[in-house]
A and B are shown apart, each in its own frame.
Chain A
């Protein structure tokens, strides 16, 4: 049975294909349209999923959309009933879109399938938004039974849920409802500190370690009321998202001693302290919720999804201080993953098919669920365009790349299937030497063109994670933050100036050690990505360091590259030294001159 899962119309549209319970393909629309967080109907992602699965015109059995659109529309109308006569501008923006498109999902699906030459199946399903998230967390997890926690901005009404998964059954037990939302609270602070809502949240998280938690009491005393079980209500008199187009209002600004920071202006100590404070509050709420989920389900394991589950600092703390023996986080925890969850929900709950988890391995295939391109295809492309490249095979490939990294070159890497979710896990990555003191600054300013405070993540041989980090288990999806081992850290004077602090070497792997001596770890296994593993292993053999920097292959505001052509374009626009396309290695110095008519940076909206 082939089930197509779709998420669309909010942010990060995506499609996923599940065949007889197995995840065959999944991809975000932005990767194909090159429009960051594209929310249009994911026609290109659907076309890819169909091609990957080799589905003929009449072989699609069911489609699952990741939420219930009519309930969501009812919530929006009810919100206007709650705030009128305010809210006109938001109403005028939202309602025409709903009338034109969002209320006619089956029609949109039919049109999209027609464009892919696929016959519309008779069955179209609509699980709830948080059910889709919960399903994306529980069904692919290694656990036969687990508590399930979902946290995001808002779905239909729910903003957080606690669920219980057993075998093929998944039941949502409790929820917290709009407008009280941990995701929206975090987004409000993202907005207030001058970053873009729905994309700048991870910057706020990255900024937090630079500050002090000065505003924690202020937040608890004024903005929210939290119970011991982690449930909470937000004091709506400080927020603007119910009736306007801003996340916070003037009262919120007065509380924090001035207006919101404007985008791209200097980051001050206030923003750092605010970032740290809301991060602390978020972590405390997540911990309380997890304890309560443990209490009411009695489970040993926890599965997490929803946008807030991408807060890997909170995840790291949950693993360390929480009541669960282990946790599993859906790598595409945001709305994109809802497409996968919806399809799995249909397979297990609507179709009542059994599920067997082995307690060890998850079903995500390393999250390498996107398109891949053969060496033949890449070779033909390079030849046609006269791009000089060397083809390396066998052990030479890994050894040569290890040498290039050791010489402090920055490499763009395109291997195998593209990752599903916001993290690059070695197949669409920019990599470099984690031992280099100048690498963080080079990568941020000359390659990614992004804010200098932002940290880089390490990819580490799975068996060596414990040698570098205070972490006793794999972290294959880069969703856990762990401290760098104390014996690797250097004592520093705590300089106040952010630039001074960024440039200080903090450990023997300075490029991946954040200011609080932590790192967002990816452990690399030979089972899920043998080529990437071989590369790091070769680097380890050469340098005795089984660890490298790994950041997503894009520049600021650009979606992660998908095809070798996207990668070549990004490579030539930045100061990367080498590009690796499968077995082909391209040296920037010998490439033909790259000319563009317009300033390409204008193509991307800064996040």
Chain B
């Protein structure tokens, strides 16, 4: 009786396990269900936020009397507002263009920041190593060393496995 009960409990545990695994890794049931089509994200709210931000910029620029840029930003704000309120498709195009611009600006900034950093920091570091005759990469080959194996120091710190370095 006990054995039978154990077997039944084991079978039930296994069935639960299989259900959990299937639910976590194979979503065919969910894919087969007819679900409500996702509603398109609204354009009014983001457009209003954008216009509000642009108006703040306009106020600052107006204060410093940059009238040409004020006019340009106002045109952008008007176009955003009209498209956001009445022409969602056009607004989404504008958004896409904005995202593209964001990526381009991001990539550009990465290069602007990292390129000088690379040449200033690493080239000077390399020169310094050359002057001191050091090569942390131990590239000399062949050498007179009897072996290229390097002895490991025993682990002494208690927090060794918790450190990221």
Contacts and interface: CB of A to CB of B under 8 A. Distances in A.
Contact of B18 (A69, A83, A177, A372): A372
A361 interface: no
B24 A51 contact: yes
A89 B18 CA distance: 48
A236 interface: yes
B142 A233 contact: yes
Interface string B129-165: 1000001111111110011111110100000011111
B20 A51 contact: yes
Interface stretch (A221-229, A419-427, A456-464, A550-558): A221-229
B64 interface: no
A88 B110 CA distance: 13
Interface string A169-183: 001111111111000
Contacts of A79: 137
Given A233-B143, A346-B161, A92 B110 contact: yes
Interface in A378-407: 380-381, 384
Nearest to A127: B161
A126 B149 contact: no
B65 interface: no
B28 A242 contact: no
A235 B162 CA distance: 36
Interface string B95-139: 000000000000000110011001100110110010000011111
B67 to A, nearest CB: 39
Contact of B21 (A48, A81, A171, A172): A48
Contact of B114 (A82, A92, A105, A292): A92
Contacts of A177: 138, 150
Interface stretch (A70-78, A136-144, A205-213, A333-341): A70-78
B165 A174 contact: no
Contacts of A105: 164
A78 B162 contact: no
A81 B32 contact: no
Contacts of B28: 381, 384, 563, 565
B52 interface: no
A590 interface: no
B145 to A, nearest CB: 8
Given A81-B126, A346-B161, A377-B18, A229 B149 contact: yes
B3 to A, nearest CB: 21
A359 interface: no
Interface string A353-382: 000000000000000000111100100110
A68 interface: yes
A304 interface: no
Nearest to A292: B149
B142 to A, nearest CB: 4
Contacts of B114: 91-92, 95-96
Contacts of A95: 114
B148 A227 contact: yes
B75 interface: no
Interface string A29-60: 00010000000000010011011101000000
A83 B22 CA distance: 50
A52 B18 CA distance: 8
A345 interface: yes
B15 interface: yes
A443 B137 CA distance: 46
B141 A84 contact: no
Nearest to B139: A236
A512 B146 CA distance: 44
Contact of A82 (B32, B129, B164): B129
B25 interface: yes
B63 to A, nearest CB: 36
Contacts of A51: 20-21, 23-25
A229 B141 contact: no
Interface residues on B, range: 35 or more
B24 A47 contact: yes
B165 A70 contact: yes
A113 B119 CA distance: 40
Contacts of B139: 82, 179, 233, 236
Contacts of B119: 84-85, 88
A574 interface: no
Contact of B165 (A48, A68, A225, A235): A68
B21 A372 contact: yes
A173 B15 contact: no
Nearest to A223: B141
B161 A81 contact: no
B7 interface: no
A527 B143 CA distance: 52
A176 B111 CA distance: 35
B17 interface: yes
A285 to B, nearest CB: 11
Q: Which of B25, B32, B143, B152 has the most CB of A within 10 A?
A: B25
Interface in B75-97: none
Nearest to B165: A70
A180 B147 CA distance: 13
A74 B165 CA distance: 9
B26 A373 contact: yes
A231 interface: yes
Contacts of B163: 68, 126
B161 A345 contact: yes
A177 B135 CA distance: 13
B28 to A, nearest CB: 5
Contact of A68 (B25, B136, B164): B164
Contact of B125 (A68, A81, A345): A81
B148 A231 contact: yes
A350 interface: yes
Contact of A234 (B115, B118, B141): B141
Nearest to A289: B149
A124 interface: yes
Interface string B59-79: 000000000000000000000
Given A174-B150, A565-B28, A52 B21 contact: yes
Contact of A373 (B18, B32, B136): B18
Contacts of B165: 68, 70-71, 74
B26 A84 contact: no
Interface string A503-536: 0000000000000000000000000000000000
18 contacts: A52-B17, A54-B20, A68-B165, A81-B125, A81-B126, A92-B111, A123-B162, A126-B162, A161-B152, A176-B148, A179-B137, A231-B148, A231-B149, A234-B141, A350-B161, A371-B26, A372-B18, A380-B29
* In the complex, the 3 A-B pairs of residues with the closest C-beta atoms, listed nearest first: A84-B122, A231-B148, A51-B24
Given A68-B165, A235-B141, 9 more contacts: A51-B24, A87-B118, A91-B114, A92-B118, A105-B164, A125-B161, A242-B137, A373-B26, A565-B26
